[in-house]
Chain A
Amino acid sequence: MTQQIIALLIIFYFIYQQTSLYKKQALSKNEYYFWLAFWLVASGMILAIHYIDALVLSLGFSASGISVLTELAVAILFYFIFRLRLRIAKLEKDITIIVEKIALEKK
Chain B
Amino acid sequence: MPSTKLDIALVIPAYNEEKNIKDVLLEVVPLVNEVIVVDDGSRDHTSEIARECGATLLRHVTNRGQGAALRTGTHYAESRGHGLIVHFDADGQFRKEDLPAIIAPLMSGESDIVFGSRFLNHQTKMPFIKKNLIMPLARLVNQALFGIKLTDPQSGYRGFTLGAARQLEWRQDGMAHCTEILALAHKNKLRIKEVPITIIYHEYGQRLSGGFKIIKDLLLGRLLK
Interface residues of A (CB under 8 A from B): 85-86, 89-90, 92-93, 95-96, 99-100, 102-104, 106-107
- Residues of B near any A CB (own CB < 8 A): 38, 56-62, 64-65, 68, 71-72, 75-76, 79, 171, 173, 220-221, 223-224
Residue of A nearest to B59 (CB): A103
A96 touches B56 (CB 8 A): no
Contact A100 B68 (CB under 8 A): yes
Report the Cα distance A96→B171, complex, angstroms: 10
Query: Is the pair B56, A107 in contact by a Cβ cutoff of 8 Å?
Result: yes
* Contact A103 B58, beta carbon cutoff 8 Å: yes
Q: Is the CB of B71 within 8 A of A100?
A: yes
Asked if B224 and A96 make an inter-chain contact with CB atoms under 8 angstroms apart, the answer reads: no
Q: Sample 27 A-B pairs with CB under 8 A, ordered by A number.
A: A86-B220, A86-B223, A89-B220, A89-B221, A92-B173, A93-B173, A93-B224, A95-B64, A96-B64, A96-B68, A96-B173, A99-B60, A99-B61, A99-B68, A99-B72, A100-B60, A100-B64, A100-B71, A102-B60, A103-B38, A103-B60, A104-B72, A104-B75, A106-B59, A107-B56, A107-B58, A107-B76
The A-B contact count (CB < 8 A) is 49
* B12 smallest CB distance to A (angstroms): 14
Q: How far is the CA of A103 from the CA of B68 in the complex (A)?
A: 11
Q: How far is the CB of A69 from chain B (nearest CB, A)?
A: 29
Residues in B whose Cβ lies below 8 Å from that of A106: 58-59
Q: How far is the CA of A23 from the CA of B108 in the complex (A)?
A: 70
Find chain A residues with CB under 8 A from B221 CB: 89
Chain A: minimal CB distance from B90 (Å): 16
User: With a CB–CB cut-off of 8 A, which chain B residues contact A92?
Assistant: 173
Main secondary structure of the interface of A (DSSP, over half): helix
Measured in the bound complex, the distance between the Cα atoms of B220 and A93 in whole Å is 12
- Of B56, B72, B220, the residue contacting A100 (CB under 8 A) is B72
User: Once bound together, how far apart are the Cα atoms of A89 and B79, in whole Å?
Assistant: 27
Q: Which residues of chain A are near B223, meaning CB under 8 Å?
A: 86
8 more contacts with CB within 8 A, not counting A95-B64, A103-B61, A107-B57, are A95-B62, A99-B72, A100-B71, A103-B38, A103-B59, A104-B58, A104-B76, A104-B79
On chain A, the residues within 8 Å of B57 by CB distance are 107
Residue among A92, A103, A106 having the largest count of chain B Cβ atoms under 10 Å: A103
When C-beta atoms are compared, the residue in chain A nearest to B67 turns out to be A96
Instruction: Enumerate chain B residues within 8 angstroms of A89, measured Cβ to Cβ.
Output: 220-221, 224
Q: Complex formed: what's the CA distance from A63 to B56 in Å?
A: 67
Q: Are A86 and B64 in contact (CB under 8 A)?
A: no
| Nearest-neighbor residue (CB-CB) of B68 within chain A | A96
Q: How far is the CA of A11 from the CA of B59 in the complex (A)?
A: 50
